[in-house]
Structure 1
Amino acid sequence: MAATATVYMLWSERNERMYNVFQQLEIDYVIGERNKELLPNSSGPAAILRIFGVTREGHSVCCNVHGFEPYLYMSCPPGMGPDDVSCFHRSLEARIKEDYRVKNIKAPQFVLRIEMVHKRSIMYYQQQQSHLFLKIVVVLPKMVAICRDILEKGIQIDGFGTKCFLTYESNVLFALRFMIDCNIVGGNWIEVRSGKYKKATKPMSYCQLEFDCLYPYVHEVVLRYSELNSHAPEGEFSKMAPFRILSFDIECAGRKGLFPEPTHDPVIQVANLVTLQGEDHPFVRNIMTLKSCSPIVGVDVMSFDTESEVLLAWR
């Protein structure tokens, strides 16, 4: 028990001056309210990206990235100007509001803006270097698919009639879109510029360190004003962080010939091994059991009276 207590104590310690550099393991997103401190002029729901990782010192990190917006492209109809884009914006907004998939979403607007940009399609041979496209920026990731459906089935545009449009990059997953735009690859090291992040006031994870930062139109790692830097796996950043790897086995009081069901078959034990990345032997060995259990050599045995106590202790 003394060794285990020491491990818990070490896990709780951290150097907060160094936690802005970490190796990322996973990126996902949640839907929540916009951060008023980082985005004072916006309101309503937003997609908040969460980057999970581990620092060089072995501390778990959750970096909440605010301000990255989902988008898709479509070909710009010939002859369309800025005034026509504003009219198209209103038409698309109205069509989205009619869609059943947004009836429970409370947002000031669904289409945040539409920009005219020069891009080049990779389909077919083209002599021209670039063409005019419309970049449609929406409030939530699910709006991308809704916009795609509306545009591909046809939409009425004043002065242009009802037209169907081919969309581009409309099937790119939101987290992947973020990784592409920030040059982030799986398992690389991320650095958030000092002074450009704030400790999370409402943590969304169980990580030891959690902070919020703003996505300031980061498209290339070399941008001087990037708050979020993605390091190439070279030199110092080719090393692995000291990940703690949990291996576990859950046993239930099963009935013969039937797959366990939560309502009938309680969890009777959870066995755990925790190994440090690169080490051969685990430094934590324990088992949490329902009711009593005989001692096991080299294993910390913890017994509980109810299933809920077992599961809460394991959490």
Structure 2
Amino acid sequence: MKVTPEDARKLNLPPECVNKTPSGETFVKSNLQKGILPEILEELIAARKRAKADLKASTLIALLPSEFPDNRLYCYVQEAKDPLEKAVLDGRQLALKISANSVYGFTGATVGQLPCIEISSSVTSYGRQMIEHTKKLVEDKFTTVGGYEHTAEVIYGDTDSVMVQFGVSNVETAMNLGREAAEYISGTFTKPIKLEFEKVYYPYLLISKKRYAGLLWTNSQKFDKMDTKGIETVRRDNCLLVKNLVNDCLHKILINRDIPGAVQYVKNTISDLLMNRMDLSLLVITKGLTKTGDDYEVKAAHVELAERMRKRDAATAPNVGDRVPYVIVKAAKGAKAYEKSEDPIYVLENNIPIDPNYYLENQISKPLLRIFEPILKNAEKELLKGSHTRSISISTPSNSGIMKFAKKQLSCIGCKALLSDADKTLCSHCKGREAELYCKTVSQVSDLEELFGRLWTQCQECQGSLHQDVLCTSRDCPIFYRRKKAQKDMAEAKRQLGRWNF
């Protein structure tokens, strides 16, 4: 319960009944008068603890060979919970966590029903003090002088947690030291505050504050998952290529321990991007349209595209509240990003070339360098420069710009040489390969029909019917663009097949 110094004097409260926080605020101690917020928080924290215990609970049966006369070998049997039940319990503990955190949030609000800046500033100052206190105790106790194998170091602390590097290379030893440290430090805190051992990261890649990745272990037998925080694998403001590339690199580095393999994978991906071999669905960026174009102070790519789409067809243009997918296409030198944004479907239909340098410089390079700079001596030179960046392929627009005025002429299906008006399929040099090239064209049509059929069936399954046309227009779905591209490629392949005079 909050009191001012004047209130304390009026109520004749002795100094031992008043608690002064590190930020200078004063509160009555709980043994004299307990506040309502501490009671609410205690109930929320206790409920979350029960939910987390239920989530981790499992039936563990230990059968010892000595208990049986036949001396047969028995193993530990662990009964896993139903996935749906685990998801419900995980959602429950997360909801309780958010509810508890919101108490701190609304007390720190300047407007609202229950603002109390004194509480929020006290929480922040106590958190900072406790992290510093924990750091000092850990680094003073866990030293080689104190009898431990290595000297511990607190390498990261944020809000309500600290990460300690004990220097050991064994996960089980690290867990034992973590539990020992948690028990030791909890004894110095005022109840009900308690420091709990949560997990071990091994290996661990600390990039910067609130940005890290590592294999998360809660038992010493097998890691639970690859955990990432603040990295592009969990962010929505990047194209799918960045998410997949970063996730695959981390998988190779942390799980496979194959750094050369990760470097080569990056080089191959960059080469595919520059050579126009990348699926368009991986390059789509999606952002929300939160207000009309006139209300934005600066020009944004998705806002300008929405205005252009409205001029083309107001019925299908995105509205306020929609998410606008777009890709960045080639334009005049010096053009701004908002001038180069375009609708992915429009790009597919008109063969508009993508700007690979934009994706390399503005989407891929920074996330990659954040991961590889702690690992490689010269990450930028190794990853972003070299032979894999020297070849660039750009598609030609089909019916936009100057191509509207160009005279179209058929090219040879075999060597792509221009054909005379008399020839419709092959040039004189490729006539001898007619059967081979025809079979190749038929095979291409067959492969594209199979690909389109698989994507079509997948979309039918998603919409819940295998007997109706696909009506999906979800532009956030990568399958949507793959299906559109496969349909376009199939139509082009059939057009090429129709040129044969059989």
Q: TM-score range by the shorter chain?
A: under 0.3
Larger radius of gyration: 2
What TM-score does the superposition give when structure 2 sets the normalisation length?
Answer: 0.16
- Of Structure 1 and Structure 2, the greater strand share is in 1
Higher relative contact order (CA 8 A, sep 6+): 1
